[in-house]
Structures are given as C-alpha cells and as structure tokens.
Structure 1
Amino acid sequence: MMVPAERAARTRPRWDFPLRLGSFIITSLSLAFLAYVIFFSGDDGPDLPRSGGMRQEVTDGTLAYRLTGVRCGLSAAPGVPRERPENGQFCELTLEVRNPSDSTASWNAGLYAGNANYSVEWALGKSGGHALPDRVPAAEHYSGTLLFDISSSATPVQLEIGVDISGEGKARIDL
C-alpha cells in the first residue's frame, strides 16, 4: 500500500509581498502618467483669449487670429483703382490666420462700424492678389487683407471673426 507523500508547506520569502506591492505601484503610476500624456498634455496650441485688441492673438476655439493693421477712409480698393465703395469708404484690415489643430477649419468675419455690421467684400492674400482662404488646412498659417465697404460716416469698432460669427464660435478684436 502506498502512503501519500506529504506535501511540503510552501513558504513564501519575506521579500515577496513588498516586491509585488512595489511592482503594482510602479505599474499604476506608469499607466496614470501615460493616460495624462495621451489625453491632457497634447499640443493644442497656446491658451488664447477670445477677445483682445490690435496685434494680440485671439482664438475662436479652433483657429488663432491676429489683426496687425487697419486703414479706413479709402476711396478705392487697394490694387483695383476703378473699384469704388458703394457705402462710402473701404476699410482694409491686415490679418493673420493660424490653424494649430489637426483638421481643416473654416472662418468668416464681420466688422462692426457705427450701428451696423458689415460683411467682407474681398479677402486678399499677401501674395499678389490671391484670395485669403476661408478654409485653413491643419497646421497652416496665412496672412492677408480683408476689405470692407462701410458707410462714410461710420467708424469701425470691432472685428468679429471665427468659425461661427453668429454664435459662440467667434473671437472679437477691438479696433
């Protein structure tokens, strides 16, 4: 008859528990750091205000804008001397548009002058009369001029610019 062999009691070394605890803590911290890097530290561009003044970069939440120059009282469109304003004067605004995101975005602009809001007549790029695009591809930067035809008695006060200038998706630049 066979006698069952007694199993030797398995004893764990004293350092086994602290080693497992340390491995768990290091793994947890590594996963937490990885989650932070993936979800919270992406380079979405600088945090910018939604409103500002001349030469200050503002955002509509998607694109970044900087107004660098304003010339009003023009009796003819720059570069097109035969084009006369219907409302009394042209205002030329020099603008930079930057897209820090990873997808294409569109924008629009409106100029408040007097008690009225005026739409863009022309948007010209700095490179010889080409249009300043209203769709900006990811990671692109454009600069050019916006031309507004406004009343001769109006003084421009504010440029509203952005993805949705009739809603929340806009930035404001005081002139």
Structure 2
Amino acid sequence: MPDVPTPRSVRQTAEQMSRTDRLSTPGARWLLPLRAGVALVIACGAALLVWAVFFSAEDGPDLPHEGKAGQEVTDGTVIYRLTRVRCGLRSPPGAPGEKPDNGQFCELTLDVRNPGGSPASWDARLAAGNATYAPEWHLEQNDAKALTGRTEADEHRTGRLVFDIARSADPVELTIGVGLSGDAGARISL
C-alpha cells in the first residue's frame, strides 16, 4: 500500500522546505555574518565592562562621604581614614615648647590616599563644642609626621593633624577635603 501523507508529515515537509528556501535565497546569505558580527560586538562589550570594573577597582571602591573613625571616606578625590584621636595635650607632637592658645591640642592621625593621577590640595576643619577649628599648619615645620594639606598623585601617607581647641570642648566631627565650601568634603564622626 502506498504511503499516504498525513497532515502532520505534510506540515513537517513544508517547514523543512521553508527553512531550506530561506537559507538558499540570495538575501539570506548575509544573515550569518550579521549574526556573527552582533555576537562579536556583545562579547567585546562584555569584555570591556569586565575590564572597566577590575581596573577601576584600583582607584578605590565607591566610598561614602560620611563615616566614623576607622572607616574610609572620600571627598570624591582623596580617600581618608581617621585612625586615632588624642586630645588634652599641653604641647603638640614635634614642638614641645609650643603652648595652646585655646586650651588644649588635639592630635588626629589619618591615612590619606590620593588614587588620582594628579596632586591634590585639601583642607580640614574640626568641630568641637560650639566652634570649628582649622589645623595648626605652621606646626608641620617641626613635625616629620605632620600632614601638609597636599597629597601627590598616587600617594598613600599616614600622618597627623594638630588642632588647638578650647579646653572644655570635645571634638565631634572632622570635615576634610579638596575645596571645603558648603557641604563639600568628607565628614568623619569622632
């Protein structure tokens, strides 16, 4: 008995012919290179994304602008970490003859890291009691560990800032950063 085509076999044969016809038409020949090109672009994009993530990690992770002592914070340019606070000093480190005008010296030890490709100048303010105090920059001449407010490109340095604050004042917050104006800078709660 001859084979009688069933509706299912007719449908399968039509689909096979349709696929064959599509691949053999002159306009369909460019589809394969196009698909390969799209796949290559996607692969290159993924590789570029992975490269960007890994190499930007060398510049430091995205860090907060506010934190506590011991945590890294950034002003967007330089990364800071306050490691130690000593207040009630009668003379600053490196200058034993210096006396406080306001009542006491506070020594803040910081790690400062500039991951950028250019030098950065920064400033600091210490909120204590009802006042804000600037560092005693002139003391850097007598103290090899004093921070100078300038960090070279790709430099990582540990040093100290000294503040002359009121005897009855307790330090509350250090604001530090490039271009301290308004809300700029990193804030570290003590």
- Normalised by the length of structure 2, the TM-score is 0.75
Q: CA deviation at 1:42?
A: 4.5
Q: What is the aligned partner in structure 1 of residue 96 from structure 2?
A: 81
Q: Does 1:169 align with 2:153?
A: no
Give 1 or 2: higher strand fraction: 1
- Trace 1:97-108 onto structure 2 (pairs within 5 A): 97-108=112-123
Structure index of larger Rg: 2
Q: CA deviation at 1:41?
A: 6.1
Q: Deviations over 1:46-85 (max 9, x none)?
A: 1111111111111111110000100101111223221000
Q: What is the aligned partner in structure 2 of residue 153 from structure 1?
A: 168
Q: What is the aligned partner in structure 2 of residue 32 from structure 1?
A: 45
- SS of 1:24's equivalent in the other structure is helix
Cα distance in 2, alignment partners of residues 66 and 158 from structure 1: 13
Superposed CA RMSD:
2.6
Q: What is the aligned partner in structure 2 of residue 51 from structure 1?
A: 66
Pick one of 114, 121, 127 that aligns with 1:112.
127
Instruction: Work out whether residues 124 and 144 of structure 1, in 8 Å CA contact, stay in contact via their aligned partners in 2.
Output: no
Instruction: Work out whether residues 79 and 114 of structure 2, in 8 Å CA contact, stay in contact via their aligned partners in 1.
Output: yes
Deviates more, 1:38-47 or 1:98-107: 38-47
Q: What is the aligned partner in structure 2 of residue 19 from structure 1?
A: 32
Q: What is the aligned partner in structure 1 of residue 77 from structure 2?
A: 62
Cα distance in 2, alignment partners of residues 41 and 92 from structure 1: 37
- Cα separation, partners in 2 of 1:58 and 1:152, compared to 1, 3 Å: same
Cα distance in 1, alignment partners of residues 178 and 100 from structure 2: 27
Pick one of 95, 102, 111 that aligns with 1:96.
111
Q: What is the aligned partner in structure 1 of residue 13 from structure 2?
A: none
Instruction: Work out whether residues 96 and 142 of structure 1, in 8 Å CA contact, stay in contact via their aligned partners in 2.
Output: yes
Give 1 or 2: higher helix fraction: 2
Instruction: Work out whether residues 61 and 169 of structure 1, in 8 Å CA contact, stay in contact via their aligned partners in 2.
Output: no
Matched-pair identity in %: 51
Alignment: residue pair count: 163
- SS of 2:39's equivalent in the other structure is helix
Instruction: Work out whether residues 50 and 58 of structure 1, in 8 Å CA contact, stay in contact via their aligned partners in 2.
Output: yes
Please, which runs of 5 or more residues in structure 2 have no aligned partner?
1-23
Cα distance in 2, alignment partners of residues 172 and 67 from structure 1: 10
Q: CA deviation at 1:103?
A: 1.9
Instruction: Work out whether residues 71 and 92 of structure 1, in 8 Å CA contact, stay in contact via their aligned partners in 2.
Output: yes
- Cα separation, partners in 2 of 1:131 and 1:155, compared to 1, 3 Å: closer
Cα distance in 1, alignment partners of residues 79 and 128 from structure 2: 23
Q: What is the aligned partner in structure 1 of residue 157 from structure 2?
A: 142
- Normalised by the length of structure 1, the TM-score is 0.80
